[in-house]
Amino acid sequence: MRIEKAIIYGFGKHEDRTIEFNDQATIFHGPNEAGKTTIQQFIIQTLFGYPARNLSLQRYEPKSGGKYGGQLHINDQVYGKVIIERVKGKSAGDVTVFFEDGRRGSEEQLKLLLRNYDRSSFEAVFSFSIHELQGLEKMTEEELSRTLLASGTTGIDTIAKMETRLEKEMAGLFKKGGRNPDMNILIEELKEIDREIKDYRARIEQYEPSVRRVKEIEQRLEKVSREEKRVSDELKQAEKWFQAAPLIERKKNLDEKIAGLPNRDFPADGSRRMDRIIDRISETRAQLEHVEQEMASLNADSFVSPELDQIEHLLNQESEWHQLRALLRQKTEEAEQLADDQERLMALVGMEEQEILKSDVSLNKEEQLVEFIQKADVEEENRRYHQRKLAEEQEKANELEKEWNAFLQHQPSAGERAGAQKWSSAKVQLAEARAAKRIQGPIKNPGANYLLIVLGALGLVYGILQTNYPVAVIALLVAVAGVWQVVKSGKNLPSTDGYEEVLKEYEGRESEFETLVRRLDIYDRKAEDMKRDLEAAKKRVAQLSSDPEKLSAKQAYEQFLAEMGIDPSSNRSVVLDLFEKLREIQAIHSRRQRVKEETAGATAQLNKWLLKAEQATGKTVDADGLYAMLRSEYHARQQRLSAHQQQLEKLEELENQQKQLETLSDQLEKDRRHLLTEAGVEETEDFYRAWEANMKRKELVQERSPVDAQLETLGKVEKPLSFDDSSAADYIADQEGLLANLAEERKELLAEQADRQQSINALLSDQAYEEKLQQFEEKKAELAGLAKRWSVDKAITEAIRQTMEELKEKKLPAVIAIAQQYFNKLTEGAYEQLEINPDGYFEAIAPEGLRFHIAELSQATKEQAYVALRLALVQSMRESHPFPVIMDDAFVHFDRSRLQQMINLLTELQQQHQFIYFTCHDTMQQIWPNAGVIEVATNERGIHT
């Protein structure tokens, strides 16, 4: 089976592509990401179907949409030429098989065509890549031997994978000494459950003793409660008496002290009120003395009121003053700016001021100027056109005259003209002489006629013999012409003596005389044309030269400028600008006059303002600091006026304050006498002594209040009979210790009772024991199931090992025999044999008999062994499964020598197998010259053969 052509409708990045395959070997070359793997997958997926969407394999559906799928054109040794078309449809795609006889088939016929091979089987034998070869370096010797064995035996790879999977499953079920396998975990769980069941059984045996002990604890707790109540009551009574005894003694002492102090009413807050009154009396007297001193120091009779109205009026007009100053500065600056602008414009114009001011710059004048400029421009343009036209015509006339003179130098001579004229009459005579000569020719040369007859006869014979009929016809015509000349030569023809002179002079010179006649004719026609053109040019020059120049518009324009005072020679392109400048200068001059008048008015107002300021202040003032001086003067006068006003107000205030202080002093003295009367004393010292006695009594009464409250809280207190005041602390300590011992005993008994009761309740209500028994049985059943699975897997692995041994003994030897030959060629005789030792490991044997384990070989040599076994398997299946071999950059680890040996082997095998090789390396094209190369470009859809 060989692939002849692939048509890609749409697959990955390739779309609408047709690829022609070489019958024996095809190399797909291109850089990374060019789409080589896409083409490889197109071949495999078109043959075996698109992968399901839930698998990790790519389907290569076009990202841009469009039709998905394509065709493979196959030439099979059994089915002939077949087209396999697979397009988008069900998960694997809809496939149609077109046979050479017109039949169509589907998946059923495709399976027959593919010899019932699936994709995994095909890839295990007929497709391998660099990734499989790179994995050899990391394999152990056992894995490497198994891989080589799988590469040399069809079907063993699947069996080996199944064996590996089963061994992995068995290891996941049970491993001796392991912890994580399922059976190991179950065994440990069964051991733990068994220990828990034993603990439950031990706890059940403690039930009856726990019940008896609970009853004993309940009886003892009742006794402890009674004893605790008795001790607690005695302790409370003793503690109560111990607390009340000091309080009773303290109350007795306070009652005695209170009884020794007088009991009379005293003004509420009397001491503080008296202190405040005395302080205020002293303060009032001091303030009164201070007020009298200040009144004596004030003298408001010697003060003259300053004048403020005029200054205040001027200050109110400050904004107008600043506006006037700003206006004056503005007008001054504007006058300076206008003067500068006028000087600048006058410098540009180049005219005197008086002359400029006299100029008429009205709109009417501007329109007249524009009209004069336009007319002058038109006139100037016409003049330039006239001069340019005259120059052009003069130049044309000069050129024509030069050409005419040069033409006359080559004019024909008189002899040539005479010969041409004579030839016109001799041409007819020459024709008659030639006709006569032709008639007399055969008579004078009979041998030529016979020669024609002979040549014609020979040509006729040659044409008939060679079946070249055109030659025969021509020869026949030549012979007939010869016969006709011979027959005609016997007739009497007229004499040609009269034409000898004509023939002698003109025969053979016909073309010379004809050329001369044509040359003279051409020369005459050209001379006539040139002479006519020259005369016309001279006529135009004379006409243009005679036209007078009209400059009336220019003269009127220059006269207009002179009247306006503008230089008539000024460029017309700037005249309008000069006119605008004149108008602008006149406008500036008018503005300067107005500004000058406004400045004079503002200056007069400013001087008037300064005069008012001098009159108001009585001082010489300056325009720049006028309002600063006015504000300063106004502020100084206002301060003097304000100070005098403050003195008057202060004096009045002091008089009022003096009256208030005298009234307050009298009132305070009345309050003091009233407070003394209320306390029942005459003097202030007696008032304070009475206040101290009253405060002492209140303190004692207040001190007795909490004692009474505590005794009331304690209630009725009786001294215990067995209580001695001297040993009260020891008695209480003993009772508290006894009570603590009873509480500790109660606590221990309650804790033991709770533990015992909890154990009893747990034994009565807890179903854990039955659950543990049930869990134990379930785990045993689960362990039995896993053990059964492990036994089944073990039996299958043993069967697989036996099957692999049978494959090694039956099928593998033939493949290894072929592989040895290939391996010997690939290594250039470095290794003669490749065999399996008794331990099941591959070994390479050197010519000198040295044996090397396959793991000891270099990476490239391992790959050579792998490729040799794979190609040997392909060769052994040549008749049953004649599929093409697909390789993806499988030889990148080979040096040039090994690569050359590999190509030599493939070249031998390509007579029987088709090889399709995908690579990104340029060396494959050079070292495999007889392979067809298909360039897979990176730009869009590029594939080039």
Model pLDDT for residues 498-541, shown as the tens digit of each residue: 567 666 666 667 777 778 778 888 888 888 888 888 888 888 88
Percent of the chain scoring above 70 in pLDDT: 78
pLDDT band at 402 (very low <50, low <70, confident <90, very high): confident
Task: Confirm whether 807 is domain-assigned.
Answer: no
Lowest mean pLDDT across 331-340, 376-385, 491-500, 929-938: 491-500
Nearest 10 degrees: CA dihedral of 792, 795, 797, 802? -160
Identify any residues that bridge with 7 across adjacent strands, giving them in sequence order: 18, 71
Q: What is residue 942's predicted lDDT score, i.e. its pLDDT?
A: 44
What's the total number of domains in the chain? 4
Q: What is residue 810's predicted lDDT score, i.e. its pLDDT?
A: 57
Task: Confirm whether 364 is domain-assigned.
Answer: no
Return the structure tokens found at 681.
């004393």
> Per-residue pLDDT for 493 more than 50?
no
Helix axes 572-617, 318-349, angle to 10 degrees: 150
Task: Judge if 572 and 536 occupy the same domain.
Answer: no
- Give the integer Cα–Cα distance in Å for 800 and 21: 41
- Give the integer Cα–Cα distance in Å for 690 and 261: 11
Task: Judge if 537 and 410 occupy the same domain.
Answer: yes
> Per-residue pLDDT for 825 more than 60?
yes
Q: What is residue 943's predicted lDDT score, i.e. its pLDDT?
A: 54
Output the furthest CA–CA distance in the chain (Å, rounded): 216
- Which DSSP helix (H) or strand (E) runs through 128? strand 127-129
- Give the integer Cα–Cα distance in Å for 521 and 757: 156
The answer to whether the CB of 688 falls within 8 A of the CB of 277 is no
Tell me how long the chain is.
945
pLDDT band at 680 (very low <50, low <70, confident <90, very high): confident
The answer to whether the CB of 943 falls within 8 A of the CB of 933 is no
Structure confidence by residue, pLDDT tens digits, 134-171: 554 454 545 545 555 554 455 455 556 666 777 777 77
Return the structure tokens found at 540.
């135009």
Return the structure tokens found at 702.
């207040």
Task: Confirm whether 757 is domain-assigned.
Answer: no
Task: Judge if 579 and 529 occupy the same domain.
Answer: no
Burial class (CB in 10 A: 0-12, 13-18, 19+), 144: buried
pLDDT band at 442 (very low <50, low <70, confident <90, very high): very low
Out of 621, 643, 665, pick the residue that ends a domain: 621
- Going by their DSSP bridges, the two strands 932-936 and 25-29 should be labelled as parallel
Task: Confirm whether 717 is domain-assigned.
Answer: no
Task: Judge if 409 and 540 occupy the same domain.
Answer: yes
Average pLDDT, the chain: 77
User: Which carries the bigger pLDDT value, residue 183 or residue 549?
Assistant: 183
For 492, left (φ over 0), alpha (ψ -120 to 50), or beta? Answer: beta
Q: What is residue 420's predicted lDDT score, i.e. its pLDDT?
A: 73
The answer to whether the CB of 261 falls within 8 A of the CB of 700 is yes
Task: Judge if 335 and 442 occupy the same domain.
Answer: no
Task: Judge if 59 and 22 occupy the same domain.
Answer: yes
SS3 for 904-928 is HHHHHHCCCCCEEEEECCCHHHHHC
- The predicted model gives 178-188 an average pLDDT of 79
Task: Confirm whether 495 is domain-assigned.
Answer: yes
- Give the integer Cα–Cα distance in Å for 393 and 535: 12
pLDDT band at 446 (very low <50, low <70, confident <90, very high): low
The answer to whether the CB of 845 falls within 8 A of the CB of 830 is no
- The predicted model gives 357-362 an average pLDDT of 68
Task: Judge if 201 and 81 occupy the same domain.
Answer: no
Measured from the Cβ of residue 157, the count of other Cβ atoms closer than 10 Å reads: 19
Return the structure tokens found at 806.
């049978």
Structure confidence by residue, pLDDT tens digits, 797-823: 776 666 666 555 555 677 778 888 888
Which domain covers residue 406, as residue numbers? Answer: 402-545
Q: Which of 283, 189, 361 is nearest to 778 (CA)?
A: 189
Can you give the pTM of this predicted structure? 0.38
Out of 545, 576, 602, pick the residue that ends a domain: 545
The answer to whether the CB of 77 falls within 8 A of the CB of 882 is yes
Which residue type, as a one-letter code, is found at position 64? S
Alpha-carbon Rg for the chain, nearest whole angstrom, is 72
Helix axes 309-316, 572-617, angle to 10 degrees: 160
Return the structure tokens found at 854.
């396959």
Task: Confirm whether 68 is domain-assigned.
Answer: yes
Task: Judge if 532 and 584 occupy the same domain.
Answer: no
Phi–psi pair at 110, nearest 5 degrees: -65, -40
SS3 for 498-547 is HHHHHHHHHCCCHHHHHHHHHHHHHHHHHHHHHHHHHHHHHHHHHHHHHC
Q: Which of 739, 679, 701, 771 is nearest to 229 (CA)?
A: 739
User: Which carries the bigger pLDDT value, residue 896 or residue 711?
Assistant: 896
**Inter-CA distances, 624 with 175, 341, 606, 669, Å:** 114, 29, 11, 68
Give the DSSP per-residue string, 174-242.
--TT-SSSHHHHHHHHHHHHHHHHHHHHHHHTTHHHHHHHHHHHHHHHHHHHHHHHHHHHHHHHHHHHH
User: Which carries the bigger pLDDT value, residue 851 or residue 788?
Assistant: 851
Task: Judge if 539 and 584 occupy the same domain.
Answer: no
The answer to whether the CB of 868 falls within 8 A of the CB of 817 is no
- The predicted model gives 266-291 an average pLDDT of 81
Identify any residues that bridge with 185 across adjacent strands, giving them in sequence order: none
Which residue type, as a one-letter code, is found at position 52? A
Task: Confirm whether 848 is domain-assigned.
Answer: no
Beta strands in 792-913 (DSSP E): 833-836, 842-845, 851-853, 885-888
Out of 755, 777, 792, pick the residue that ends a domain: 792
Task: Judge if 3 and 64 occupy the same domain.
Answer: yes
Task: Judge if 518 and 432 occupy the same domain.
Answer: yes
**Inter-CA distances, 938 with 26, 31, 808, Å:** 19, 7, 46
> Per-residue pLDDT for 843 more than 90?
no
Return the structure tokens found at 135.
């994995």
Which residue type, as a one-letter code, is found at position 232? S
Strand order in the sheet with 104-105: 14-20, 2-11, 69-76, 80-87, 94-98, 104-105
Q: How far is CA 300 from the centre of its chain?
A: 91
Q: How far is CA 826 from the centre of its chain?
A: 52
DSSP classification of residue 935:
E
Q: What is residue 939's predicted lDDT score, i.e. its pLDDT?
A: 43
Task: Judge if 434 and 530 occupy the same domain.
Answer: yes
> Per-residue pLDDT for 81 more than 80?
yes
Task: Confirm whether 308 is domain-assigned.
Answer: no
Measured from the Cβ of residue 876, the count of other Cβ atoms closer than 10 Å reads: 20
**Cα first-last separation, the chain:** 22
Q: How far is CA 117 from the centre of its chain?
A: 48
Q: Which of 196, 316, 119, 361 is nearest to 769 (CA)?
A: 196
Strand order in the sheet with 833-836: 833-836, 842-845, 851-853
Q: Which of 74, 4, 7, 25 is nearest to 885 (CA)?
A: 25
> Per-residue pLDDT for 909 more than 70?
yes
| Coil/strand/helix, residue 567 | coil
